[in-house]
Each structure stands twice: as structure tokens, then as C-alpha cells.
A and B are shown apart, each in its own frame.
Chain A
């Protein structure tokens, strides 16, 4: 058994209505302590109203080497952006 505590990724919601945002990571023996540590490390300056923690090993991530096949095909598909509509004047800012 490793003596290192597992790594946790920390997500904090800055205020009601916003979504949780990744703010960093930390080590903790279990989920409960991870939340306490997140409170102490990442909310000292009143940054949040809600904390999520997830063990880093449970996050599945895309690989940087696959960025070509994953993202480039959407570069040439301008018609996916809603920029081809004429907005009537009276609608104003959208």
C-alpha cells in the first residue's frame, strides 16, 4: 500500500447560478477530508459556496496526442455557428 494520500481534483462554485469550476488539486486520505482540505486551501478568501471533490484517478481525460482527430474536423464547419441569420433590428442585442 502506498503511504501517499490519493490525489483529489477540486471544483468550486463561486456563487449561486454559476457552475463549479476546477480550481486545483490536493492530497487527502478520504473524500470527507478532501472537502475539508479544499475548504482550507481554496476558500480562504471567500471564493465559494459549494465544493466538489473527485479522486483524480476517476477522471477520464482526452489525450493531447489525439487533438487532431478530436477537434480539427470542427474547424472547417462554420455552418455550425449561428452566424448566417439576419437579426431584425427590433430584436436588439441577443
Chain B
């Protein structure tokens, strides 16, 4: 059971970065300006890089000989454990950056805690990822402020993005028996315990961005448990996995 809980935890970490990384990569060649195009591609590559570590370790812990690639390309939607926030469509550039910021802020708090994990492998991945994440949250935070506190048009779009995405934030702080097992083993913190630090960080940036956080406390869930993903995940997997599905074992 302990190993299975660790496997589930690692899938959650890896699937978050994989699915968000794929989403961000969809902007490649389509961003509003060249500089943002490269910046987003860099972010996507960082996230995919983190995925290789998380899913690589997940496969090792599972002990059935599955590689990170196997886990990424040969599972179907119900086996994914990413939070719903990561799989939501890009929308406009503002919505993409708002989603990025809401995730980066969580990742920056999470990596900080995981660096002191009792599992050395987890601590090592977190230490490496934390430098990337620190840059991501600074960049996405700055862009959220720039656009939120920008023109009437950009402000309205950012507020609309926040209103749409906010109900997906709460899932990142849900806890279940997997988390309880991780806490018990000293491997990972209770997600609920990250909320205060997260709210302080997010509140500060969104305040500077002159945006209003919705007051409704309802949140969607079902991603990190795999109970029910949004309809968007299947479409994403379809484009991400089609090559391995159509040509099994193809390499290049």
C-alpha cells in the first residue's frame, strides 16, 4: 500500500507537469510576439523535463518495468492524475498566463516543501525543479500584473480568466488517503497545509494586478483522484499520444 500511495503521488506530480507542459507547448509558433513564443516554449520544455523525472521515478516505484514514456503515452484519460486546472484549454493569451500563474504559485510552494522530503529522490527532483519554478512564477506573475493593470481590454480579459479558472484552484489543496500516507512517511506535505502560503502569494500578485478574487468557495475536483476529468483531457491526449498509438514503439 505504501508503495502504491507513493506511485499515486508521483503520478500526480508528473501528470500535472506533463499535461500543463503539453498545453503550453500548443502555443509554439502561435504566441502574440516572438519573445513570448520562446518564453512559453522554454516553460513547456521545463515542465516536460520535470515530467521525465517524476514519471521516471513513478515507473521505478511501480516496479512493472514501465518507463516515463510508457506512462505518458500509453495511459488513457481515466489513469491520469493531474488536477483539472492543468488540462483546461489555453483560451486567449491572458487565460493561458493566468492558468500558468495559478499553477506556478502552487508549484513554487510545493517544491519548497518537497526539497526536505524524507525520500532523497523526491527531494532531488524538487531541488532541481525549484529553480525553474521560481523563474516561472516570477515571469507569469509579472505578466499577470502587466495585463491586469494594463488597458481596459486586457484588464477585462484577465478578470474573465480569473473568474473562469478560480473554481479549479481549490483542487490543488484537496487531501485524501494518498496524501495522508505521504505525510506519515514524511515524503510530502498535506496539500491543505500549503493554502495559507499560496493565498498570500496569489493575493499579493492579483492585488497588484488590480484583479478581484471571486468569493464563491465552490471548487471542481476529480482530476487528481482520476474520478472524472474534464472533456478536454481526452482531446489533449488524442493529439499528444496519436503517434505512439498509431505506430506503437516508434522512435526517432
List residues of A whose CB falls within 8 A of some B CB: 5, 26-29, 32-33, 36-37, 39-41, 44
Tell me the minimal C-beta distance from A49 to chain B in angstroms: 15
Q: Is the CB of A36 within 8 A of B38?
A: no
**Interface residue from B42, B135, B146 paired with A29 (Cβ < 8 Å):** B146
List residues of B whose CB falls within 8 A of some A CB: 33-35, 38-39, 42, 135, 138-139, 142, 146
Given contacts A33-B142, A33-B146, contact A40 B33 (CB under 8 A): no
A-B contact pairs, 24 of them (CB 8 A): A5-B33, A26-B34, A26-B35, A27-B33, A27-B34, A27-B35, A28-B35, A29-B146, A32-B142, A33-B146, A36-B39, A36-B138, A36-B139, A36-B142, A37-B35, A37-B39, A39-B135, A40-B38, A40-B39, A40-B42, A41-B34, A41-B39, A44-B38, A44-B42
Q: List the count of A-B residue pairs having beta carbons below 8 Å apart.
A: 28
Q: Is the CB of A41 within 8 A of B38?
A: yes
CB-based nearest B residue for A36:
B139
Q: Inside 8 A of A32's CB, which chain B residues have their CB?
A: 142
Alpha-carbon distance A33/B97, docked complex (angstroms):
15
Tell me the minimal C-beta distance from B31 to chain A in angstroms: 11
Q: Inside 8 A of A39's CB, which chain B residues have their CB?
A: 135
